[in-house]
Structure 1
């Protein structure tokens, strides 16, 4: 819980909450756009560069590794010099890196600029989370986080569809030129309208030794470890399908590069609905109950998916993708609660806490994309089995956190608990 010395949040007068949600949602979108838009182009890029599926999968993993490494810097940098500067610089670098991708003539060059994209694209999501907590708290913060999640959720649904359309009229570099235009447009809008929510009086100096000490203190906090693991494994149950999308859509479901919407639209619809429901539940349902409902929805979805996969040798749409809608809905309920709980643990280091949470999830996602996905994506049963394992791990860490909180409350003998239940 934020202490009394924490700066009281207030919405910047220059920008309404709704417009702030639209802007932050747009900023969060360019990360998923840079991953998912190129999925339909995998065969074309691989054919031009002589790269097999495993090599093409590295365009995702190298992006995520760079994203994960730089995510450790984005948050603390915004704590030191302000949110606005970091977001604007990230947008400028992302736009330039997208130009490099569009002009690449071989796979190593493409991978290099994909890494540069990864280094910059985390600013919208990571710094945006800290920005939300700068301006709002409690149920209002949950509502804004949910609104941003709804807008953010649109990107993975429409990105591969846009990529397929572009391939229908042009070659694969046009996809990266689209990302150049998207990044430039966001940069222009953010330059004109994005407020600075972290004033100089609240900033902390960016010193390597202090940064390492702060990260170490956060990383070894058992409560942070439990919450970050619960969030990361919960999302991994869906990410294993996202990372395997080219193989899942074109090899397992036997669709073409213009039919990625069959996979992404149900999945992202569920995530958007979950985020909307989370916002509506704010102040009406206690946090623990909401997270429990979220995990239950995901469990039912994966059980249905497993049953279908075992009964039907050749998966087809829509039945093979409908369970993902419910799984994504559950994740949309869980994510805002856990993220806000982590941010509220460190009212003076929200950027660092957001960065370390993102790093935890991104490292797991990079391992799934670069190591597990090429192996798992050869059969639908392996994908659903891995999703089940990830969900069980996420739920186990969440139950561990609830048990630890109750034990802490019992040991305080009626004193005010260090971890209030409503913060969960």
Structure 2
């Protein structure tokens, strides 16, 4: 089920839209990964343990998840651009507050506000693509955005490592504040409003709830949302638990996170590029199926490598999760497009509901699964394999239902 794309801006501005949207989507990964190299300094300065510092990730993720339910419906009601603008402004203020934190509790409050604000750019930016573009063009541009989005987790810890070399841990949060200000200026200058007033819904609590209800009653949404969440969750296990995996288990230093993130994110970028190139040749469903098959192979490879001495050394320890990431790059842009077309009049609500499922799972993963799996390299590999195989099963179930019944 599809609908006509929104009114397009002038050609010159249109060419910049995917680039701006991709940069907006980087706020999420930068918020999670940039602080990792500063954890040691933060622990000493705030007098807290490594386990307590995992709350810096969890607080952000849970707040992001809670607010993600509302960002999409709000953009359906007031337009995409105002939600992004106000969210970036709030994010900049919250980042500055984190830089002034004298205690862990203060820092966690700042991280909560960061999380509440960050979804305005990361969630709504993806909706704009489907507003403006249709068919293979939307698939190609979503893949282009995924390429730049995929680079963020590889770049962020390197940036964080460089920042803590030239300044105290607070420098990381001043960087986040500055990034938000730059993106705010770019949004105001370059981003069009893709959701015109005649397509908006009333800004009422009942209408927001109705929008979300229209999404969650669709069985296909749950099958696809959990497929995407679980397979990406395997990759996020290594992202959210990077400090444990890289430093505690493998004995690497603050500047060595790239040894994990470069192969993992590089593979995801390759998958995203390939997805965009194949968009005119095969269907989105076929690309999702191929991607998840590759991820399953990568998950099993990760377990095998973890059982050998190579599993204790980077980058070999990252080979399995790199193949998982390649599969995600191939599948993730396409499964998002498929979900957005389930309820075309409520695309903001679709993206919010999908993001909520993913974020809650990843927050729990960072707080519970990563420390538990972090007892060994094999623990990480097995936990990732379980996530991938469960997600692949959800997609297989969806494909079976789609072939044997009227699409739901």
Is 1:262 the equivalent of 2:259? yes
Q: Deviations over 1:244-278 (max 9, x none)?
A: 10011111121100111101111111111111111
CA distance in 1, matches of 2:220, 2:354: 12
Q: Do 1:75 and 1:126's aligned partners in 2 also have CA atoms closer than 8 Å?
A: yes
Is 1:367 the equivalent of 2:364? yes
Q: Match for residue 32 of structure 1?
A: 29
In the TM superposition, residue 369 of structure 1 has moved relative to its aligned partner by 0.8
Q: Match for residue 286 of structure 2?
A: 289
Map residues 140-289 of structure 1 onto 2, 5 A cutoff.
140-289=137-286
In the TM superposition, residue 313 of structure 1 has moved relative to its aligned partner by 7.8
Is 1:136 the equivalent of 2:126? no
CA distance in 2, matches of 1:321, 1:152: 20
CA distance in 1, matches of 2:231, 2:382: 14
In the TM superposition, residue 15 of structure 1 has moved relative to its aligned partner by 4.8
Q: Do 1:64 and 1:366's aligned partners in 2 also have CA atoms closer than 8 Å?
A: yes
Using the size of structure 2 for normalisation, the TM-score is: 0.97
Give the 3-state SS of the residue equivalent to 1:105 in structure 2. Answer: coil
Q: Deviations over 1:6-35 (max 9, x none)?
A: 454343226544411110010011111111
Q: Do 1:17 and 1:144's aligned partners in 2 also have CA atoms closer than 8 Å?
A: no
Using the size of structure 1 for normalisation, the TM-score is: 0.93
Q: Do 1:15 and 1:195's aligned partners in 2 also have CA atoms closer than 8 Å?
A: no
The worse-fitting range, judged by mean Cα deviation, of 71-80 and 44-53 is: 44-53
Q: Match for residue 113 of structure 2?
A: 116
Q: Deviations over 1:197-235 (max 9, x none)?
A: 111011001211222233223213211110100010010
* Gapped regions of structure 1 (runs ≥ 5): 410-417, 420-424
CA distance in 2, matches of 1:311, 1:258: 25
Q: Do 2:227 and 2:395's aligned partners in 1 also have CA atoms closer than 8 Å?
A: yes
Give the 3-state SS of the residue equivalent to 2:345 in structure 1. Answer: coil
Which one of 376, 379, 395 corresponds to residue 379 of structure 1?
376
The worse-fitting range, judged by mean Cα deviation, of 212-221 and 46-55 is: 212-221
Map residues 48-63 of structure 1 onto 2, 5 A cutoff.
48-63=45-60
In the TM superposition, residue 43 of structure 1 has moved relative to its aligned partner by 1.4
Q: Match for residue 414 of structure 1?
A: none
Q: Do 1:7 and 1:202's aligned partners in 2 also have CA atoms closer than 8 Å?
A: no
Is 1:9 the equivalent of 2:9? no
Give the 3-state SS of the residue equivalent to 1:348 in structure 2. Answer: helix
Q: Match for residue 88 of structure 1?
A: 85
CA distance in 1, matches of 2:315, 2:281: 34
Q: Match for residue 123 of structure 2?
A: 126
* Gapped regions of structure 2 (runs ≥ 5): none
CA distance in 2, matches of 1:374, 1:311: 22
In the TM superposition, residue 407 of structure 1 has moved relative to its aligned partner by 1.1
Is 1:306 the equivalent of 2:303? yes
CA distance in 2, matches of 1:393, 1:403: 15
RMSD over aligned CA atoms reads: 1.4
